[in-house]
Amino acid sequence: MNETLEDVTTIFTDFLAKKNLRMTNQRNLILKMFLSTEKHVSSDDLYSLIRKQDNTIGQATVYRTLKLLAEAEIATIVEFGDGVARYEHIYLHQHHDHLICEGCNIHIEVVDDDIERLQVRLAKKYGFTLTSHKMYLYGKCEKCQNISSL
């Protein structure tokens, strides 16, 4: 996907309008900051980032806006199992899954077209139409394999 910030802002504004909600300065700033980050930010991460530009913004507003962004399908939730909801953007960033090293904790974004195809097939086998999926692969990276074999 190659949307610009303006495109995504329009998408969000339209989404809001459809629900009788308004595009505000706060929502605008939050969206802008969110899109400018790479990968997995928690609401709190984003709140800290935004405070640097505008320290009047409220924590709850960030929570609320991220929920809206997820509803608008501009953001998706990623859960790494520590009880914190993290978000990443879909627009400006295409779908991917996560490969995670249990040793050093690095996260690599991956996609395998064959798997993506088979997921649709698998869902269809049960009469489902697939709208999305999440896949997390856990293992050890090259470096950590060597360390643990010492």
* Binding residues for DNA (CB under 7 A): 16, 20-27, 42-44, 56-61, 63-65, 67, 83-85
Kindly give the pairing relationship between strand 75-79 and strand 41-42.
unpaired
Only segment of 21-29, 42-50, 60-68, 107-115 that touches its own copies (CB under 8 A):
107-115
- Nearest approach, Cβ of residue 101 and its own copies (Å): 7
Structure tokens at 130: 């697939």
Cα distance from N-terminal residue to C-terminal residue, the chain: 44
Q: Which is nearer to Zn ion, 75 or 101 (CB)?
A: 101
Distance separating alpha carbons of residues 32 and 74, to the nearest angstrom = 12
The structure tokens 């995670």 sit at: 100
Tokens 């949307």 -> residue: 3
Does 118 participate in binding its own copies (rule CB under 8 A)?
A: yes
Q: Which does 27 bind (CB under 5 to 8 A by kind): Zn ion, its own copies, DNA, none?
A: DNA
- The CA distance from 110 to 79, in Å, is 16
Does 145 participate in binding its own copies (rule CB under 8 A)?
A: yes
Q: Which residues would be at the binding site for Zn ion (CB under 5 A)?
A: 97, 101, 103-104, 141, 144
